Amino acid sequence: MDFDFTNKVAIATGAASGMAKLYLENLADLGAITVFVDINKESVEAAAAAVREKGHKAYAYVADIRKHTEVCAVVDDVMAKEKRIDILLNSAGGASARVCKQPAFPYCSYESIEWGVDVNLKGAIFFARAVMPHMLEQKSGVIINMSSIDGITGSKGAVDYGAEKAGMVGLTKGLSIVGAPNGVRSVSVAPGPVLTRAAMANMKTPLGRAAEVQEVVDLLVYLSSERAAYITGCNYQIDGGRACMIGTNS
């Protein structure tokens, strides 16, 4: 399909690496003005700089999405510079036990659970709250929330993560109801294992492999586009059939 994102302003969180980084790179090549948001200063600035070197317009913001003041500062600055926000991808996140180097639930620390709730769910709610008034006013916009197959199946090894990612589906439904009268859409995407980390290759799927990052990004680009103008309020699983393996996932 031919996609045209000329002068569309797209924000993604967790954009210093992985799916969000590649997603913004793809949108930039299709004409979008891209906004890279991450807590890692060096990496997020390098990611935006690489896009600018290709002749595209890109911004980098260092922000802790757990803090609504920092989220609002990003959105306010983007609006001051570009006067609109067309796309938000809430992608920042991670399993708290892995990121915080804790044992699995129920032996992990309460602090790691708090980190997971804040990053995987609260930060997405904060960003949606910050951009939604602007999208409602301009009568257009798309908010994509990255869920996870663990939000569908649950996970023995990441109990709180599964709950947080299930919350992203609920967030999506609520946003779609609020946004629909003004032409604002919201969808969520629930990947199975994706090769953003080598360890993902060890997660079982009926197709016998993890997804390439581009495979997930292709779906995200489509859902962001006018080709998907009638799609809102739903969750897309892109998991190689992993959700069919009830009782076998870790």
Q: What is the pLDDT of residues 114-145, one digit of tens each?
A: 999 999 999 999 999 999 999 999 999 999 99
- How far apart (Å, rounded) are the C-alpha atoms in residues 120 and 126? 11
* Amino acid at residue number 43: S
- 247 lies in a domain? no
- Tens-digit pLDDT profile for residues 3-43: 999 999 999 999 999 999 999 999 999 999 999 999 999 99
Is there a contact between 88 and 71 (Cβ–Cβ < 8 Å)? no
Residues constituting the chain = 250
- 80 lies in a domain? yes
Distances in Å between the alpha carbon of 159 and those of 36, 117, 119, 164?
29, 11, 15, 9
The whole domain housing 112 covers 9-239
Supply the pLDDT for residue 249: 47
pLDDT by residue for the chain (250 residues), tens only, comes to 689 999 999 999 999 999 999 999 999 999 999 999 999 999 999 999 999 999 999 999 999 999 999 999 999 999 999 999 999 999 999 999 899 999 989 999 999 999 999 999 999 999 999 999 999 999 999 999 999 999 999 988 899 999 999 999 999 999 999 999 999 999 999 999 898 888 878 888 989 998 999 999 999 999 999 999 999 999 999 998 898 876 554 4
- Phi/psi zone of residue 182: left (φ > 0), alpha (ψ -120 to 50 degrees), beta? alpha
**Where would I find the H helices in the chain?**
18-29, 41-53, 68-82, 96-99, 110-117, 123-138, 150-153, 159-179, 213-224
Shortest CA distance to 39 belongs to which of 66, 59, 19? 66
- 4 lies in a domain? no
- 82 lies in a domain? yes
Supply the pLDDT for residue 45: 98
- How far apart (Å, rounded) are the C-alpha atoms in residues 11 and 89? 6
pTM score above 0.85: yes
What is the CATH classification number for the domain harbouring 171? 3.40.50.720
- 246 lies in a domain? no
Supply the pLDDT for residue 250: 47
Rg (CA), the chain: 17
Is there a contact between 221 and 174 (Cβ–Cβ < 8 Å)? no
DSSP β-bridge partners for residue 137: none
Is there a contact between 44 and 61 (Cβ–Cβ < 8 Å)? yes
- 249 lies in a domain? no
Supply the pLDDT for residue 232: 98
Q: How many domains does the chain have?
A: 1
* Amino acid at residue number 233: G
- 109 lies in a domain? yes
- 244 lies in a domain? no
